[in-house]
Homo-oligomer: A and B are copies of this chain.
């Protein structure tokens, strides 16, 4: 059972519609793209999307990609909040696909660095840009 299905029942109608759009997509979507896709379901204004997204991000079901101004469904089962201290994203600049990664070593390195710099870390934004395996010349 996917995370989406699991929390399905707890979500409101609009949250469910937005979550559905993101789950079906094979990549990140902008808020306005989501709005367009949901017009047939009665959506009329950006705020309907942004309000749902806010909640979904808070729940850890969706992540915001800062370098794209876009949103993507969580690909894990362990993202409990919006802190995003423990995930990073590899964004393919060719096909647009996004892979959500967890890497303990990277996480440790970041924590360590922050500590050394006397920086009290609340959240890490790590977004790698490049080419995914499928898009590289073989």
Contacts and interface: CB of A to CB of B under 8 A. Distances in A.
Contacts of A103: 109, 113
Copies in the complex: 2
B114 A122 contact: no
Contacts of A129: 121-125
Interface residues of A, number: 33
A122 B118 CA distance: 29
A110 B121 contact: no
Contact of A128 (B92, B105, B119, B133): B119
A117 interface: yes
Interface string A116-138: 01111111111111111100100
Interface of A: 66-67, 90, 92-93, 99, 101, 103, 105-106, 109-110, 112-114, 117-133, 136
